[in-house]
A = this chain, B = another copy of it.
Amino acid sequence: MSETEEPNESLPQQMRSFEEACRDANLKLTHQRLEIYRELASATDHPSAETLHRRLQKAMPTLSLDTVYRTLATFEQHHLIKKVQTVDSQARYEARMIQHHHLICDTCKEIMDFYWTSFDASSVPEDIQAWGSIKNKNVTLYGTCRKCQAMKKGGNPA
């Protein structure tokens, strides 16, 4: 039952960890950086730089797309966020740094996080050790989410 339970961290808590990490890394706490991080940390959909920029422009009309790209790249270099592996042309990001896995819907392309503690605890096949040392294990599940299944069955009344 706790196999796939979400380990929770509140946004304010996450922002404090972030600010501390920035100070440790000698990154100045600018308004732009704080807002870009807050927006990414609040999102559940693994947004691209452009998506984040669009969402932030309402509150920060002068924010440039380049700053979003540059800031995300800086965060990634300091391991404050991660680039998500996709086959899309646009890179997508996530602020969730704890061990988790991804579910991808082949229809709406949405990426969901999930947790799988028994997999995390298990070891990989022995032969793999001949290749080198493993630091991280990630599972990606592909399928169709309930929403898209329903749309296909009922037909899309667009």
Contacts and interface: CB of A to CB of B under 8 A. Distances in A.
Interface stretch (A16-24, A27-35, A54-62, A138-146): A138-146
A148 B127 contact: no
A132 B144 contact: yes
Interface string A124-152: 11111011111111111111111111000
A112 interface: yes
A40 B56 CA distance: 42
Total copies of the chain: 2
A96 interface: no
Given A132-B146, A135-B143, A3 B86 contact: no
A126 B138 CA distance: 18
Contacts of A116: 124-125
Contacts of A145: 131-132
A86 B132 CA distance: 20
Contact of A85 (B87, B105, B143): B87
Which of A118, A139, A143, A149: most chain B Cβ within 10 A?
A143
Interface string A1-28: 0011000000000000000000000000
Interface of A: 3-4, 83-87, 89, 91, 103, 105-106, 112, 114, 116, 118, 124-128, 130-149
Given A114-B125, A137-B141, 16 more contacts: A3-B125, A87-B91, A89-B91, A112-B131, A114-B128, A116-B124, A130-B146, A133-B143, A133-B149, A134-B142, A134-B143, A135-B142, A135-B143, A136-B141, A139-B140, A140-B140
